[in-house]
């Protein structure tokens, strides 16, 4: 593997977007970023800015109000990028599936690479998901 | 120092400086992590970051941003080259300032509220540290009887025992230039978010990598200027220790303090910086130093 | 050289036709430019010249005519608009200037009019000023042809103006050029005072050109503040006559020097006062700010390139006279204070011309600082700063004038994103600002020289250096802020079109920016050709200033490798400039939390899915650095400083 692939795998920068979540998964994501789990050892940094981010962590289902914002943020991220849907709501709509305002899971709006089920998803699962997403970077461009 | 040797050392400096800057940044993050009770990233992490950024697809908000990112890097490298060529210290600083100016100009060229805020705040940081850096050249020039860096080498005696007040003022300026707490007002390094990302909000991918490289060169240049305070007497390794020691002090201060506001930064820098340097000049006059 | 512009100005006053008047302006311009260059290359300096005695009569008579005209204008204004502080002060100060002069000339002087040999004394310093006046002044007048046409069309469109006032305008402008040439050539103090009055007259007339009440008030304010200087002149004349030297020849007075003849120190202080008021230093800086309401060519000519330069020219010329005295140190500190204060004030201004005005006052303070330091290195820095600042600042004023005629506003906030609509003009303006600010251009070179010259030991030089460097930081902030406002735009997909080029606007601007760049590259030959001879004629040793081997500027304490820096920076900037064109698919909108409407639209989606315009603005920090707050401190400080000036001189 070339230096570029290794670097991409070793330096994933996150953008965390709460799409419609009850904040349960968001709390777990923020817990993963604390020194207890220390994700910086993988080079993971939480950037608040799509232009700097490689990995988009989305919680909550997509609805008719915020799907536009979600797509806008996705398009402002430069390639290569990966999307991780965190929590059951992000995967399929979860508890809110078929509710009036809800479109469904995130994958109805943008392509998703890794799904993390759970309500709320555990921090260890979230870290595992990011590491799994790195596999996509390693193979990018081939 | 013959011309050929100077040119070779300039080329070496251009190649080695970013390596040193990146390594220092990596050690910075590792030490910070240990101070915070965690493990932290590998030391080579900044290099992985820069290579990854270089490999991203190019996007930009407008053409000026791209131009200013290149100009930032190019001018700081130029300043470093002039420094290694032992030119006039004030001229080196002026070229450095021109380069540093390109960063907020690029940010200000994008019509985004975060970028505008960040750009203006970067100008305020500039307002805080530029006078101190300029003023610090005066005691150095008084002692070495001239402004060119070559004079400091010819002077033959170490500067630090006479100019330690100026050195402290330069440490304050260094903290502001490196954008470390309590002065990380235009774009925070450790917290990674200050008005989104402040002055570098709109840069991405390869252009962000250029700016990161520029910051590494800038750090190498400033630590070298600090290292000038002890370059003679056969103890050349002492200047490296002084440079690294100052960097470590910055690290400690960064981890121990929180971010403060810009008006405090400007007032603090101006009052502390000018009074320390004025005292130093006064003591030189009186012959005490 | 002196008479021609006055004559053609008079003709312009009489001609009604626009084109013929323009033709005379061009004629004057070409003659002035050619004449000054010819004079420089042919003449041997210092040249002395004494015209026939009848001219002394003419000067004497016209001096009183002008003073009487001021009194008449003040009275007419009082009658028409009632008493105001400005016209009363103008009246009082005219009398204060005229009466001592009359007493001197009619009772003290052995015979009237007093003859001084030589009447005109021309050395390289005068030639520097002459070139600046003739070349830059002529270019500004050519620019003014088109500018005044647009200006009057605009005002007629707004219903403010009935008939054309251009004849009077060009008369005053051209007469002013002639008077300035006379001023820099004069050796007889009475002639100098006369030309000083003529420039004050032109200043007053041009500020009130638009005949709006606020402008008339500002004109009278300028008048009385400049008249303080004239009072200084009159008293200085009396002092010099009473001194052991017993002469009115400026060269003799300077040559005698304050070291040998301490009573002359008061005379020098009075002349410094005249220079300070003309150069709008503290505390009389408000007249220059008020004068910004005048049409832009006036601001460019009078208030940046030439008239205010007359003030610093006087101080530079008399600097050898008070070398080594406490007055000299004080002048340096005064210049430094002005530099710092105006730089801070400029950050808070959002009106473009006021920013330029503050910057001008600051740079004039810097030249005065150099004159105060009074070493060969400092004096050469001061002269070079004078040249380069005149070019760059005149250029900037003209750029702002052209911009004003496009956006019809002088507010920096209205100039946001101008780079998209007027790329050429914005490009020239930004280049001009860079030439004022960054290495390796001339203004920075002079600032570098001033810093190195000030690096002496001693308490006062430390203070001067602190003021200089703090001010330097502040100037960077406001220039960069303004440049950022120009560049702030949202690129829309599509090819950016160049604006239509207007020859009289863009042509002049391009010529001036070419001067700035070429002058900065060729700074070493420029120094050898003009500045070094000027130094030696003034009695300084140029070898103590700069040596210019291989086109570097090498002083005893520093090196400024001008052309290598240019080349290396040019190469360094080549890649950025060539790469500044992103492809369309690369463009992304600015980050707005995901609420952008689309690329190229300046809007974001706000409450209730409504499209809301995206607006940005600049930092002006009015509550700390605003005029209201700072002026309260500065004006008393300035008055105190002037009082100390005289106390220092008297002791």
Over chain C, what is the mean pLDDT? 76
Nearest to B196 among A42, A48, A79 (CB): A48
Instruction: Please compute the mean of the pLDDT values over residues C351-370 and round it to a whole number.
Output: 88
Q: What is the pLDDT of residue B108?
A: 87
Tell me what pLDDT residue B217 has. 92
C582 Cα to chain A: minimum distance (Å): 15
- Round to the nearest angstrom and report the end-to-end CA distance of chain B: 29
Contacts of A75 in chain C (CB under 8 A): 588
Q: Residue C228 burial (CB < 10 Å; 0-12/13-18/19+)?
A: buried
Domains parsed from chain A with CATH numbers = 3-136 (3.40.50.12280)
- Residue B50 binned pLDDT confidence (cut-offs 50, 70, 90): very high
With H, G, I as helix, E, B as strand and everything else as coil, classify residue B109: coil
pLDDT: is B93 or C41 the higher one?
A: B93
- Mean pLDDT value of segment B102-119: 86
Picking from A6, A11, A40, the nearest residue to B33 by CB comes out as: A40
Rounded CA separation C306/C314 (Å): 12
Average pLDDT of the segment spanning B60-88: 86
Testing the interface with B: which of C484, C560, C614, C621 to mutate, by most B Cβ within 10 A? C484
What is the nearest CA distance from B193 to chain A, expressed in angstroms?
A: 7
* Chain C residues with beta carbon closer than 8 angstroms to that of B110: 488, 590
Contacts of A45 in chain B (CB under 8 A): 192
CB contacts of A17 in chain C (<8 Å) are: 594
Interface residues of C toward A, Cβ cutoff 8 Å, are 588-589, 591, 593-596, 605
Residue boundaries of the structural domains of chain B: 3-286
Nearest CA among B283, B136, B144, B275 for reference residue C463: B275
CA dihedral sign, ordered C116, C120, C126, C132:
positive
pLDDT number for residue A142:
47
Q: Which of A12, A33, A37, A49 to mutate to test the interface with B (most CBs of B within 10 A)?
A: A49
In whole angstroms, what is the distance from residue C646 CA to residue C232 CA?
12
Distance from CA of B135 to the nearest CA of C (A): 7
| Helix C137-158 with C376-407: angle, nearest 10 deg | 30
pLDDT exceeding 90 applies to what percent of chain C? 0
**Stronger pLDDT, C127 or C53, i.e. the higher one:** C127
Residues of chain C found within 8 Å of residue A68, distances taken between Cβ atoms: 594, 605
Contacts of C567 in chain B (CB under 8 A): none
Which of B206-220, C27-41, C44-58, C299-313 shows the lowest mean pLDDT across its residues? C44-58
| Neighboring chain B residues of C452 at a CB cutoff of 8 Å | 90, 141, 147
- Cβ contacts from A onto B, under 8 A: 83
Within an 8 Å CB–CB cutoff, is residue C596 touching chain B? no
How much is the average pLDDT of C480-497? 76
Which range, A65-74, B175-184, C54-63, has the best average confidence (pLDDT)? Answer: A65-74
- Other C-beta atoms closer than 10 Å to the C-beta of C23 total 14
H or E, element range at B26: helix B3-35
Contact B105 C582 (CB under 8 A): no
Partners of chain A (3+ Cβ pairs below 8 A)? B, C
**What pTM value is reported for the model?**
0.88
Work out the average pLDDT over C508-517.
80
pLDDT at position A57, please?
A: 92
Q: How far apart are CA C194 and CA C63, in angstroms?
A: 5
Phi, psi dihedral angles at C560 (to 5 degrees):
-125, 100
Give dist(CA C369, CA C359) in Å, integer.
15
Min Cα separation B229/chain C (Å): 19
**What's the mean pLDDT in C328-337?**
84
CB-CB under 8 Å, C595 with A76: no
C317 pLDDT tier (thresholds 50, 70, 90)? confident
Q: Which chains touch C (3 or more CB pairs under 8 A)?
A: A, B
| CB proximity under 8 Å: A 29-58 to C | 49-51
Residues in chain A: 142
Q: Is the pLDDT of residue C204 over 80?
A: yes
Pick from B90, B130, B274: CB nearest C451: B90
B61 and C617 within 8 Å at the Cβ level: the answer is no
Confidence of residue B189 (pLDDT cuts 50, 70, 90): low
Chains with 3+ CB–CB pairs under 8 A to B are A, C
pLDDT digits (tens, 9 = 90+) for C448-484: 777 777 776 567 788 888 888 888 888 888 888 888 8
Four-residue CA torsion sign, C539, C34, C402, C302: positive
Q: Which residue of C has its CA nearest to A50?
A: C591
CB nearest C590 (choices: B112, B131, B281) = B112
On the question of pLDDT at C59 being above 70, the answer is yes
CA distance A85 to chain B (A): 22
Residue C550 is given by DSSP the state G
Q: Is the CB of residue A112 less than 8 Å away from at least one CB of chain C?
A: no
What number is the ipTM of this complex? Answer: 0.89
Instruction: Supply the DSSP string of C467-486, one letter for each residue.
Output: HHHHHHHHHHHHHHHHHHHH
Rg value, chain B, Cα:
19
A54 close contact with B: CB closer than 8 A: yes
CA distance B122 to chain C (A): 10
| Phi, psi (degrees; rounded to nearest 5) at A53 | -95, 150
Residues C83-114: pLDDT tens digits? Answer: 777 777 777 777 777 777 777 767 666 665 56
For the record, the structure tokens of C371 come out as: 């004159």
Q: Greater confidence, C565 or B221?
A: B221
Q: Which residues of B touch A54 (CB under 8 A)?
A: 52, 56
- Chain B residues in contact with A40 (beta carbon < 8 A): 29, 33, 38, 40-41
Residue of C nearest to B200 (CA): C591
The Cα of C611 is separated from the nearest Cα of chain B by a number of Å equal to: 16
Q: Are strands A102-104 and A62-63 parallel, antiparallel or unpaired?
A: antiparallel
Q: Do C596 and A72 touch (CB under 8 A)?
A: yes
Q: Which residues of A touch C593 (CB under 8 A)?
A: 69
- Interface probe for A, chosen from B31, B36, B41, B49 (most Cβ of A below 10 Å), is B41
Q: Which of B235-244, C245-254, C361-370 has the highest mean pLDDT?
A: C361-370
pLDDT of residue B15: 92
Report chain A residues whose CB lies below 8 A from the CB of B194. none
Contacts of B56 in chain A (CB under 8 A): 54, 78-80
Does the CB of C451 have a partner CB in chain B at under 8 Å?
yes
**Given this model, what pLDDT does residue B193 score?**
66
Cross-chain Cβ contact B197/A3 below 8 Å:
no
The reply to whether residue C591 touches residue A72, judged by beta carbons under 8 angstroms, is: no
Enter the tokens of residue C139.
């270019």
Residue B233 is predicted with a pLDDT of: 62
Size of interface A-C (CB pairs under 8 A): 21
Whether pLDDT at A94 is above 70 = yes
Q: Do C614 and B111 touch (CB under 8 A)?
A: yes
Q: For residue A46, give the DSSP letter.
A: E
Per-residue model confidence (pLDDT) at position C542: 66
Interface residue A76 vs chain C (CB under 8 A): yes
pLDDT bin (cut points 50, 70, 90) of residue C23 is confident
Residue A19 near residue A58 (C-beta atoms within 8 A): yes
User: Chain A residues with CB inside 8 Å of B28's CB?
Assistant: none
- As a whole number of angstroms, the longest Cα–Cα distance in chain B is 60
Contact C589 A76 (CB under 8 A): yes
In degrees and rounded to multiples of 5, residue A13 shows phi and psi of -105, 135
B90, HSE (Cβ side, Cα atoms, 13 Å): 30
DSSP B218-256: HHHHHHHHHHGGG--TT-HHHHHHHHHHHHHHHHHHHHH
Is residue B59 within 8 A of residue C588, CB to CB? The reply is yes
Structure tokens at B1: 């120092």
Looking at residues B42-54, what average pLDDT do you find? 91
Using the Cβ of B45 and the Cβ atoms of chain A, whether some distance falls under 8 Å is answered with: yes
- The CA distance from B182 to the nearest CA of chain C, in Å, is 21
Report the C-alpha dihedral over residues A122, A124, A130, A135, rounded to 10 degrees: -130
pLDDT band at C538 (very low <50, low <70, confident <90, very high): confident
Total number of residues shown for chain B: 289
Identify the pLDDT of residue A86. Answer: 93
Q: Using the predicted structure, report yes or no on whether residue C381 has a pLDDT greater than 50.
A: yes
CB atoms within 10 A of CB C314: 25
- Which range has the top average pLDDT, B101-110, C6-15, C211-220, C266-275? B101-110
Distance from CA of B203 to the nearest CA of A (A): 7
Judge whether residue B148 has pLDDT over 90. Answer: no
Rounded Cα gap, residues C634 and C617, in angstroms? 28
């Amino acid at each position: 593997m070339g230096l570029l692939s290794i670097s991409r795998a070793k330096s994933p920068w996150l953008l965390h977007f709460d799409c419609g979540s009850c904040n349960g998964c968001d709390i777990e994501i923020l817990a993963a970023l604390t020194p207890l789990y220390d994700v910086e050892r993988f080079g993971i940094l939480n950037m608040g800015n799509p232009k700097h981010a490689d990995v988009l962590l989305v919680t909550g289902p997509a609805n008719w109000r915020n799907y536009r914002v979600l797509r806008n943020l996705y398009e402002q991220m430069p390639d290569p990028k990966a999307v991780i849907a965190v929590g059951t709501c992000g995967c399929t709509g979860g508890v809110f599936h078929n509710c009036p305002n809800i479109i469904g899971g995130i994958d109805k709006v943008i392509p998703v690479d890794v799904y993390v089920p759970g309500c709320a998803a555990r921090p260890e699962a979230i870290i595992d998901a990011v590491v799994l997403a790195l596999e996509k970077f390693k193979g990018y461009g081939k | 120092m013959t011309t050929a040797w100077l040119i070779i050392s300039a080329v070496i400096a251009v190649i080695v400086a970013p390596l040193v800057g990146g390594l220092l940044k990596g050690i910075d993050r590792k030490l910070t992590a240990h101070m915070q009770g965690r493990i932290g990233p590998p030391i080579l992490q900044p290099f992985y970051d820069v290579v990854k950024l270089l490999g991203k697809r190019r996007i930009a908000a407008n053409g000026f941003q791209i131009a200013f990112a290149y100009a930032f890097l190019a001018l700081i490298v130029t300043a470093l080259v002039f420094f290694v060529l032992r030119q006039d210290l004030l001229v080196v600083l002026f070229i450095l300032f021109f380069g540093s100016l390109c960063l907020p100009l690029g940010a200000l060229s994008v019509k985004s509220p975060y970028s505008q805020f960040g750009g203006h705040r970067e100008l305020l940081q500039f307002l805080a540290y530029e006078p101190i850096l300029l003023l610090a050249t005066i005691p150095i020039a008084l002692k070495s009887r001239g402004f060119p860096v070559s004079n400091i080498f010819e002077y033959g005696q170490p500067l630090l025992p006479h100019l330690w007040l100026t050195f402290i003022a330069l440490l304050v300026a260094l903290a502001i230039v490196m954008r470390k707490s309590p002065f990380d007002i235009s774009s925070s390094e450790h917290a990674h978010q200050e008005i989104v990302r402040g002055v570098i909000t709109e840069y991405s991918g390869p252009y962000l990598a250029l700016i990161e490289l520029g910051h590494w060169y800038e750090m190498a240049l400033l630590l070298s200027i600090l290292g000038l305070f002890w370059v003679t007497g056969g103890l050349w390794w002492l200047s490296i220790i002084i440079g690294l020691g100052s960097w470590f002090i910055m690290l400690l201060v960064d981890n121990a303090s929180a971010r403060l506001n810009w008006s405090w930064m400007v007032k603090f820098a101006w009052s502390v910086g000018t009074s320390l340097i004025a005292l130093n000049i006064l003591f030189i006059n009186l012959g005490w130093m | 050289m002196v008479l021609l512009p006055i004559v053609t100005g008079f003709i312009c006053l009489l001609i009604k036709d626009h084109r013929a008047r323009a033709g005379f302006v061009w004629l004057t311009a070409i003659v002035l430019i050619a004449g000054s260059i010819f004079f420089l290359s042919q003449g041997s300096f210092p040249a002395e010249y004494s015209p026939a005695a009848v001219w002394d009569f003419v000067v004497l008579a016209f001096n009183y005519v002008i003073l009487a005209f001021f009194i008449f204008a003040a009275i007419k204004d009082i009658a028409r608009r009632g008493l105001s502080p400005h016209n009363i002060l103008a009246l009082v100060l005219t009398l204060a200037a005229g009466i001592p002069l009359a007493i001197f000339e009619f009772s003290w002087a052995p015979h009237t009019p007093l003859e001084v040999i030589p009447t005109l004394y021309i050395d390289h310093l005068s030639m520097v000023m002459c070139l600046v006046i003739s070349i830059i002044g002529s270019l500004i007048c050519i620019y003014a042809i088109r500018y005044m046409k647009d200006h009057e069309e605009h005002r007629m469109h707004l219903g403010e103006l009935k008939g054309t006032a251009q004849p009077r305008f060009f008369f005053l402008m051209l007469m002013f050029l002639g008077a300035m040439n006379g001023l820099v050539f004069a050796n007889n103090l009475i002639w100098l005072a006369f030309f000083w009055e003529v420039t004050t007259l032109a200043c007053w007339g041009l500020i009130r050109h638009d005949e709006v009440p606020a402008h008339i008030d500002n004109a009278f304010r300028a008048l009385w503040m400049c008249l303080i200087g004239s009072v200084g002149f009159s008293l200085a004349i009396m002092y010099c006559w009473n001194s052991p030297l017993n002469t009115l020849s400026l060269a003799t007075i300077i040559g005698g020097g304050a070291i040998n003849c301490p009573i002359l120190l008061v005379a020098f202080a009075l002349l410094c006062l005249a220079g300070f008021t003309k150069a709008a230093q503290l505390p009389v800086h408000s007249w220059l700010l008020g004068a910004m309401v005048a049409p832009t060519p006036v601001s460019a000519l009078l208030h940046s390139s030439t008239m205010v330069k007359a003030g610093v020219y006087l101080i530079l010329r008399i600097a050898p006279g008070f070398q080594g005295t406490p007055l000299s140190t004080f002048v340096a500190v005064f210049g430094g204070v002005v530099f710092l204060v105006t730089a801070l004030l400029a950050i808070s201004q959002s009106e473009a011309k006021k920013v330029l005005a503050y910057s001008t006052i600051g740079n004039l303070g810097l030249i005065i600082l150099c004159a105060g330091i009074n070493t060969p290195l400092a004096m050469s820095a001061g002269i070079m700063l004078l040249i380069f600042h005149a070019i760059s600042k005149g250029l900037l004023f003209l750029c702002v004038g052209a911009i004003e005629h496009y956006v019809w506003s002088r507010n920096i906030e209205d100039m946001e994103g101008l780079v998209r609509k007027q790329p050429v003009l914005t490009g020239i303006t930004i280049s001009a600002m860079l030439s004022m600010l960054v290495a390796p251009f001339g203004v920075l070179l002079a600032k570098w020289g001033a810093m190195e010259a000030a690096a002496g030991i001693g308490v006062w030089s430390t203070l001067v250096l602190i003021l200089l460097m703090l001010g330097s930081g502040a100037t960077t902030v406001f220039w960069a802020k303004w440049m950022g406002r120009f560049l702030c735009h949202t690129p829309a997909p599509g090819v950016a079109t160049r604006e239509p080029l207007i020859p009289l606007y863009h042509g002049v601007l391009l010529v001036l920016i070419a001067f700035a760049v070429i002058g900065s590259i060729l700074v070493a030959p420029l120094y050898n050709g003009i500045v070094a001879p000027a130094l030696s004629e003034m009695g300084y040793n140029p070898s103590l200033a700069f040596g210019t081997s291989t086109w570097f500027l090498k002083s005893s304490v520093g090196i400024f490798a001008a052309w290598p820096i240019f080349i290396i920076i040019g190469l360094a900037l080549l890649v950025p400039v060539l790469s500044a064109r992103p492809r369309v698919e690369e463009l992304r909108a600015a980050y707005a939390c995901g609420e952008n409407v689309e690329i190229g639209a300046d809007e974001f989606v706000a409450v209730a899915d409504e499209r809301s315009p995206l607006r940005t603005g600049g930092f002006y920090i009015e509550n700390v650095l605003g005029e209201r707050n700072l002026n309260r401190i500065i004006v008393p400080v300035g008055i105190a400083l002037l009082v100390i000036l005289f106390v220092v001189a008297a002791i």
